[in-house]
Structure 1
Amino acid sequence: MKSSGRILLRPEVDGVRRGLIAVHTIPCATRLLPIYQMLADCNPRIMWSFTVPPDDYNSGVRQFLAERGIETIKWSRLVDEVQGHFDIALAAAWGGLDKLRMPVVKLSHGALHEKATPRRAGAGAEMPRHRHGLSPERMIRDGRTVASRTVLSHDNDLAALDPVLRAQARVFGDPVVDQISAHLHQREHYRRQLDIPTGARLVVVTSTAGRSCLWLDRPELLYRLTTELPAEGYRVVAVLHPHLRHVFGSQLDVALRTSFEAGLRVVPADQDWVVPLIAADWVIGDHGSVLHYATLTDATLLTAGFAHDEVALGTARATLGGLVPPLTADRALEEQLISAARPEVVARYASEKAHLSSRVGHFAADLRREVHSVLGVPEPGVPARLPGLTIPSLLSR
């Protein structure tokens, strides 16, 4: 797939619209690229281009896209010179979107909007925090809504919005929920492709990024898992938030060295972490999206470093953090894994998957229909489908 600013030099074609995909970060890219593939599939009526808006974590995004044959329009050139050529923009973060004059469709880049907005250091009085990504300060600028459409996963997100903002919100479900649901039957195939020996069990460890997360709060855990669990019976795979690489750089590899030597494998930031999630016997996580997505699978869940104060009160994520058993530092790890898998423990959080999406299986069709409606062009006469999953090439060093 390839897109270039030079597409703007082509002559106008009747009935053809131009779309822009604004990719702020690598997590945004992994959310938006499958959506781009779905929208571009068999439909020449929309020509798509890409840009990288300002963001504190957008280092490496242009290279990430270039490695996939995607050229980008420089953000400053887009804003100052050529944005009038575009009829719609898709984004999964808010940075810079208020500079765009075209209709903007804003999607999420994780599960729901249930983390609390960051609280900055300072001398001012502390105020209540909004759900991250749904604060009025982000969604309204200079008396106008920044997005023409804000795409939400669940009706609970809609209820959290200011009444004025609900009019431009749409509940379409979650693409990752739909991908997991559609591929659960591939679990044994994925285990074979990931080289999980017959009879061995897979432990997936996931960390979000931020001042509180598994990686920072429980730095010893990956090493303990890879050295204390019997090597013949267990495999350990880590899913680390791409922002950890942005913050720690090569120090991340140094910190992982002894765990790699003991057998740890890591999912590359640009590859399908959903595959090992479906294949897992246990998932150990923090308050990030991956643990919540894991409720859709057959895996047993545990928490390690769940930062309750970083999650908005009363949300499904906050509830999940109170129901999933914690992995403590003072007990044998295998004993805790086995204990957490007891049916009565798993039953505590089994129903929490229902809070991830109000439109399971409908995201692709709903979003494609909305995009074509905004553009005023007919949809292609083929079903809307997200691309399939690919087996990640696990890193061992």
Structure 2
Amino acid sequence: MSGSAWTRAPGNAAAERWVTRAGCRTVLVVVPHMTAGTRLVEVLPLLRADHRVQVLFTVPALEDRWDGTEEYVRAWGGLLLPWHQVLRTRFDLAMAASYLEIDKIAAPVVVMPHGVSGPRFRRSPLPAERAAQPSLAHPRYRLVRDGRVVPATVLTAHEQDARWLRRECPEAADRVVVAGDLCFDQLRASLSLRDRYRAALDVRSGRKLVLVSSTWSRHSLFGSNPHLLDQLTAQLPARDYQVVAALHPLTWSIHGSWQIRAWLAKALDAGLRLLPPDDGWRAALVAADYVIGDHGSITQYAAALGTPVLLNPGSAEDVRAGSLAASVWRLAPKLRPDLLVDVQLRALAAGRPEDWVGDIAARITSLPGRAGALLRREMYRVLGIPEPPHEVQVSPVPLPRRVAVEGFVGGPP
């Protein structure tokens, strides 16, 4: 999407005569990168079947863009507006899971977290000396521009995060709303359907599913231990184990699908199932017997669900003191290179403690099971129209559309 052309869409005065459903409230979904998109796509079903609402999408024109984001959004089938058109159009609501460029949008913006960690413990890609600068670390840096509080609503999953934001940025205190964690609610609602997810992932009866999860950064599992997937597929007997990997979407964007598949060619040839960056990790987490991970969201969700977790010791440097990841890090065992992985997994299943699972879950959300209803209420409040009459049900996570990325064959996929 380039040049100065506009897309024919509701809100474009030149296209009004072509509009079939006139008078709809417009909702703009802002997707600067795939990580934000994967969280926003969970929320959009709350607007389905409402003929009063038109949903539109955009990818901000960043100086340093994330590769593949436009293609990712187009695959949803939504109407994608060029950024220059967005900057000259008013919308009734904008939904975001990132603070990038939201101050430029002519709409009340509702911002939600794009991971399980609260705003107090969000990692920064900046060098440590820059990320530690008060002006960059303070929440006001994200929430306020030119003396104006930008978001209409700042959603948090937990009351503790809300209290912290209100204290650190009092001018935005009345914008902070605790709305729970929709992803976690859906994961919990899916546990009774575990066999369906295992079948969709083609996990044969009698095999254990080992989900290997890596967030982004050089201290992530894949960043600090890049040969682990080769070792797992070599060590774990294929008759007993199925190894599935979920790499953070930003890892795919920064390195490219071709390169990821090239790096993992040996493991893929040995039977590794590599989940696509936009689909399948939630289903795999519900289906998993074990999770080998780092400090990322998937590992924290796994611990809260009671799935046995084994941690990559090389990720310790990215664990923030006081964070939920730090709690998981303190309680869960670390992967030992001097022991066979099979031995460690069997010991993990036999001896995992149950008493801390509830404590981890209680730190993810202070309003379990209520996120869908609270999110919908806030969206319709901002839109200025009544909510639909039907109750919001906690839906299970969808079955994966694609089971795995194709293996490396030397050329384009």
Measure how far apart 1:71 and its partner are: 2.7
CA distance in 1 between counterparts of 2:332 and 2:268 reads 28
Matched, 1:358 2:362: no
1:118 equivalent in structure 2: 124
Aligned pair partner of 2:106 in 101, 105, 129: 101
Q: CA contact under 8 A between 1:190 and 1:279: conserved in structure 2? A: yes
Residue 395 of structure 1 and its aligned partner are, at CA, apart by 2.7
How much has 1:107 moved relative to structure 2?
0.8
Matched, 1:156 2:149: no
Partner secondary structure for residue 7 of structure 1: coil
Q: Distance in 2 between matches of 1:386 and 1:284?
A: 27
Q: Which runs of 5+ in 2 are unaligned?
A: 1-6, 408-413
Of residues 183, 197, 210 in structure 2, which corresponds to 1:203?
A: 210
Range with greater deviation from structure 2 (332-341 or 259-268): 332-341
Query: In the alignment, what sits opposite 2:337?
Result: 329
Say which of 285, 288, 295 aligns to 1:287: 295
* 1:273 counterpart residue number: 281
- Write the mapping of 1:92-241 to structure 2, written as runs, cut at 5 A: 92-113=97-118, 115-118=121-124, 120-121=126-127, 127=133, 135-163=139-167, 164=170, 165-241=172-248
Quote the Cα distance in structure 1 between the aligned partners of 2:71 and 2:127: 33
Q: Distance in 2 between matches of 1:170 and 1:197?
A: 44
Identity across matched positions, percent = 32
Q: 1:258 to 1:350 in 2, by over 3 A?
A: farther
User: Shift of the alpha carbon at 1:286?
Assistant: 0.6
Q: CA deviation at 1:379?
A: 1.2
**Residue matched to 1:70:** 78
1:263-288 alpha-carbon deviations (Å, 9 max, x no partner): 10011112131111111110011111
CA contact (8 A) 2:305 2:361 kept: no
Could you say if the C-alpha distance between residues 363 and 124 of structure 1 is closer, same or farther in structure 2, counting changes exceeding 3 Å?
closer
Aligned 8 A contact 1:174 1:356 in 2: yes
Are 1:389 and 2:393 an aligned pair? no
| CA 223–124 in structure 1, closer or farther in 2 if over 3 Å, else same | closer
For 1:319, the equivalent position in structure 2 comes to 327
Structure 1 pair 348/382, CA: closer, same or farther in 2 (3 Å)?
Answer: closer
Counterpart Cα distance in 2 of 1:87 and 1:125: 34
Shift, 1:371, TM fit:
1.2
**1:343–1:119 distance in 2 versus 1, CA, 3 Å:** same
CA deviations 1:9-30 (Å, max 9, x no partner) are 3379897422211111112222
Does 1:10 find its partner at 2:16?
yes
CA contact (8 A) 1:149 1:169 kept: yes
Contact 1:294 1:301 (8 Å CA) reproduced: yes
What secondary structure does 1:6 align onto? coil
CA contact (8 A) 1:116 1:130 kept: no
Distance (Å, rounded) in 2 between the aligned partners of 1:120 and 1:383: 43
Q: Find the aligned partners of 1:350 and 1:358 in 2 and give their Cα distance.
A: 12
In 1: Cα distance, 2:173 partner to 2:319 partner = 22
Instruction: Decide whether aligned partners of structure 1 residues 312 and 54 sit closer, same or farther in structure 2, where only a CA change above 3 A counts.
Output: farther
Residue aligning to 2:269: 261
The alpha-carbon deviation at position 5 of structure 1 amounts to 4.6
How does the TM-score come out when normalised to structure 2? 0.87
In 2, the alpha carbon distance for the partners of 1:111 and 1:125 equals 20
Matched to 1:140, the amino acid is V
Please say if 1:59 is aligned against 2:63. no
Name the SS for the 1:307 alignment partner: helix
Q: Which residue type is aligned with residue 293 of structure 1?
A: Y
1:383 deviation in Å?
2.1
- Structure 1 vs Structure 2 CA RMSD: 2.5
TM-score by length of 1: 0.90
Q: Distance in 2 between matches of 1:153 and 1:337?
A: 32
